[in-house]
Amino acid sequence: MSVRRSETLLPARRSQRFAVGRRTVLGVDADVLWLLVPALIPITILSVAPLLYGVYLGFTDARAGGNVAPVFNGLENYVRVVNDPYFWESFGVGFVWAISVTAIQFGLSLVLALLLNQRLPGRVIFRLIAILPWAIPPVVVGFIWRLVYQPNSGLLNTVLRDLGIQDERISWLTTPAALPAVVIAAVWAAMPITTVVILAALQSVPKELHEAAAIDRAGALAAFRVVTWPTILPTAVAISTLDFINNFNAFSLVYVLTGGAPSGQLRLPMLLAYEEAFRYGNYGYAAAIGNVMVLAVAALLIVYLRLALSRRGRLS
Amino acid sequence: MKTRPAAVAAQYALLALFLVFIAAPIVWLVSIAFKPPQELIALETGWIPAMPTLENFTVALQEQPLLRSAINSALVAGSSSILTVLLATPAAYLISRYRGGVSRILIGWVLLSQMFPFIIILVPLFLIAIRIGFYDSLVGLALVYTVWSLPFAMWILRNFVDGIPRELEEQAMTDGAGRFASLRHIVAPLLVPGLVTAAMFSFIGAWNEFFFALVLIKSEELSPLSLLIVRFIGQDSVRLGPLAAASILATIPSLLFFAAIQKRLTSSLISGAVKG
């Protein structure tokens, strides 16, 4: 890079002209300071500080009530985490949830984006409908899917009855099918964003490549594999990574669907940490759960990105 | 490209399946909102209300808490979106016009915030909020929303600032204008579309938000709309109709927003920087 770097952060181009009469504060360009500080103060107080404090709290015995200052207790919380069956249950549910929502969401969004990318008449309306769930607040999404899975006059039971498949009033969220049921709701809510991102990537696939593939009499599948997929792969890796993190952070949908009291099979990590902190007042322990979960997610993502990037290397 | 009729038919069929999956739950909600109480307690209900009524909407609107919480949401979302834009503009300008360590840290933070581990800040944000008086306070909630909408707003605005030629500013500066004057009088007026876009994203993000509201707001009279609806859901499942009506009313702002921006949703603005 030809960018001039210095502690005074000169503008990238024509720095001489900008430099005339520049004031510095402690060696930093005064302009940089006032541009930066307004955003920096709230970010520091409400984002950076909580993050650092949260990591620290995980190593303390902080509890609700009383004004006793939290005491550092080393790895005590982590010994408890490792021996806590609720933690392991939630850990498993969290990963099954995040991986299955991400995978199904990606697969369906890819197919939907490919369809919406065709020059079919009416595609403007189809696109509008496809992004509709995006416009619905998470709380309302939760309520909508409660209406779907309700035992009495729920949408799913009504459809199954009308199709003559079964006539029982199943309370879907309390059966062993609860996790798949909630996964479907989550996929429904998150599909639009992924679809739009993939659609944007599809539109950047050079038309010449498709024409070349057509001349070579390549079938649709072959053209997809050779032309489309390699072009959208970086986007696919990026959006699935972000989706995974988002799904791991999921809270509102399951909270609303279960009325704030999820059974074990639906207790996602966020809900476990929430319960530990605000129902039982175990702040330190909740923070420790958070630390362990984030480390586990980070480890998984590193493996995933390594695999994805090495495959990309082989393709090109 | 030439496509065979059979392939087109197959594509339409597949698309139809998707659209039914996406639309059916929404249609169901709307249908329930227009059903009178006696139809709602019937065990076998259909798709279309036999006797459509606006009763649920009037009941929902007469509930004092609903209106109050809608006002709370509007206040929080409105002030947070204005504040977001005020704070994000200088920072976006900084990222766009200066290259160097500070800009890189800011860009890094924008990207990292897309994958922020909320599970870690759950407890500390709550404790910090209590200590600095942000707990159970609409001002505190608005400031928290501001911080969480800043990265995306900075990203949008940075793209807009990138599109404003430097030459315009340089001319002003050789005429003696400082950075601030240049940002205020040259850049800001050209930035209006970007400011509006960023403000709308922040407003909708705050209006729809639930998690922080749940953690940070205790009093019912301070509840934003999302929190109130969840309390209703928890309280009684019998009154589905007014609840469905309230849900639809709560969705209107973001529906308007999406109607306004839907053309741009597949443009480059989003493709590089979607907040999931």
Residues 144-183 (B) with a CB less than 8 A from some CB of A: 144, 146-148, 150, 154, 166, 170, 173-174, 179-180
User: CB neighbours (10 Å) of residue B38?
Assistant: 9
Residues 98-137 (B) with a CB less than 8 A from some CB of A: 98-103, 106, 109, 113-128, 132
Task: Give the CATH number for residue B236.
Answer: 1.10.3720.10
Amino acid B171: pLDDT: 82
Average pLDDT over residues B243-264: 87
Regarding whether B217 and B164 lie in a shared domain, the answer is yes
Q: Calculate the CA B268 to chain-centre distance.
A: 19
Distance CA B149, CA B265 (A): 18
Give the pLDDT confidence of B23-42 residue by residue, as tens digits: 999 999 999 999 988 887 77
Mean of per-residue pLDDT scores for chain A: 85
Regarding whether B64 and B48 lie in a shared domain, the answer is no
- Set of chain A residues whose Cβ sits within 8 Å of the Cβ of B117: 51, 249, 290, 293-294, 297
Q: Is the pLDDT of residue A102 over 90?
A: yes
Regarding whether B130 and B98 lie in a shared domain, the answer is yes
Grade residue B139 by pLDDT with cuts at 50, 70 and 90: very high
How wide is the angle at C-alpha A258 spanned by C-alphas A256 and A262, nearest 5°? 125
Q: How many CA atoms lie within 13 A of B114 on its CB side?
A: 21
Grade residue A267 by pLDDT with cuts at 50, 70 and 90: very high
Grade residue B47 by pLDDT with cuts at 50, 70 and 90: confident
> Could you tell me the two tokens for B144?
């928290």
> Could you tell me the two tokens for B49?
């209300």
Which of B34, B53, B72 marks a domain boundary?
Answer: B53
**CA–CA distance from B101 to each of A134, A208, B159 (Å)?**
36, 41, 19
Q: Of B106, B144, B210, which has the smallest distance from its Cβ to A139's Cβ?
A: B210
Regarding whether B81 and B43 lie in a shared domain, the answer is no
Distance CA A131, CA A288 (A): 37
Amino acid A80: pLDDT: 95
Instruction: For residue A29, give the DSSP letter.
Output: E
Amino acid A167: pLDDT: 81
Amino acid B6: pLDDT: 82
Rounded to 5 degrees, φ, ψ at B45 are: -105, 155
Core vs surface per residue A151-165: b (16+ CB within 10 A) or e: eebbbbbbeeeeeee
Chain B contact for A153 (CB, 8 A cutoff): yes
Q: What domains can you pick out in chain A, each with its CATH number?
A: 76-315 (1.10.3720.10)
The percent of residues above 70 in pLDDT, for chain A, comes to: 88
Q: Is the pLDDT of residue B62 over 80?
A: yes
Q: Is the pLDDT of residue A153 over 90?
A: no
Give the pLDDT confidence of A190-229 residue by residue, as tens digits: 999 999 999 988 888 887 777 777 777 777 788 888 888 9
How wide is the angle at C-alpha A309 spanned by C-alphas A306 and A313, nearest 5°? 130
Q: Which domain holds residue B262?
A: 58-271
Q: Is the pLDDT of residue A66 over 80?
A: no
Give the pLDDT confidence of A10-35 residue by residue, as tens digits: 444 444 444 444 566 666 677 888 88
Amino acid B115: pLDDT: 78
For the entire predicted model, the pTM comes to 0.87
Amino acid B180: pLDDT: 83
Amino acid B258: pLDDT: 84
Residue identified by tokens 């991102």 is A197
Average pLDDT over residues B55-76: 90
Regarding whether B156 and B34 lie in a shared domain, the answer is no
Grade residue B2 by pLDDT with cuts at 50, 70 and 90: low
B75, part of any domain: yes
Q: Judge whether A294 and B120 are in contact, CB under 8 Å.
A: yes
Regarding whether B23 and B148 lie in a shared domain, the answer is no
Residue identified by tokens 């990203």 is B155
What is the count of residue pairs from A and B with beta carbons less than 8 Å apart? 297
Give the pLDDT confidence of B190-240 residue by residue, as tens digits: 899 899 989 999 999 999 999 999 999 999 999 999 999 998 887 765 578
- Report the first-to-last Cα separation within chain B, whole angstroms: 33
B174, part of any domain: yes
Grade residue A314 by pLDDT with cuts at 50, 70 and 90: low
**CA–CA distance from A14 to each of A124, A149, B99 (Å)?**
46, 63, 12
Chain B contact for A229 (CB, 8 A cutoff): no
Residue identified by tokens 């649920």 is B56
Q: Is the pLDDT of residue B116 over 60?
A: yes
Q: Is the pLDDT of residue A164 over 50?
A: yes
Which amino acid belongs to residue A131? I
In angstroms, the separation between the Cα of residue B29 and the nearest Cα of chain A is 6
Q: Is the pLDDT of residue B274 over 50?
A: no
Distance CA B262, CA B257 (A): 8
Amino acid B111: pLDDT: 82
- Total domains in chain B come to 2
Average pLDDT over residues A73-84: 94
Mean of per-residue pLDDT scores for chain B: 86
Regarding whether B14 and B64 lie in a shared domain, the answer is no
- Set of chain B residues whose Cβ sits within 8 Å of the Cβ of A206: none
Q: Of B11, B18, B266, which has the smallest distance from its Cβ to A200's Cβ?
A: B266
Amino acid B109: pLDDT: 85
Q: B230, A255: Cβ pair inside 8 Å?
A: yes
**Interaxial angle between packed helices A178-202 and A229-248, expressed in degrees from 0 to 180 and rounded to the nearest 10:** 140
B126, part of any domain: yes
Amino acid A68: pLDDT: 73
Strands A24-25 and A28-29: antiparallel
B276, part of any domain: no
Regarding whether B262 and B221 lie in a shared domain, the answer is yes
Regarding whether B196 and B117 lie in a shared domain, the answer is yes
Regarding whether B169 and B234 lie in a shared domain, the answer is yes
Residues 41-100 (B) with a CB less than 8 A from some CB of A: 42-46, 86-88, 90-91, 93-94, 97-100
Count Cβ atoms within 10 A of the Cβ of residue A120 and give its class: 0-12 exposed, 13-18 middle, 19 or more buried. Answer: middle
Q: Judge whether B266 and A196 are in contact, CB under 8 Å.
A: yes
Chain A contact for B6 (CB, 8 A cutoff): no
Regarding whether B65 and B37 lie in a shared domain, the answer is no
B227, part of any domain: yes
Average pLDDT over residues A80-102: 96
Q: A140, B150: Cβ pair inside 8 Å?
A: no
Distance CA B270, CA A52 (A): 31
Q: Is the pLDDT of residue B14 over 50?
A: yes
Q: Which of A78-82, A94-98, A296-300, B36-40 is predicted least confidently?
A: B36-40
A7 vs B250, higher pLDDT: B250
Under DSSP, is residue B53 helix (H, G, I), strand (E, B) or coil? coil
Distance CA B3, CA A172 (A): 42
B160, part of any domain: yes
Regarding whether B127 and B105 lie in a shared domain, the answer is yes
Average pLDDT over residues B36-56: 82
Q: Of A9, A243, A245, which has the smallest distance from its Cβ to B100's Cβ?
A: A9
B155, part of any domain: yes
B102, part of any domain: yes
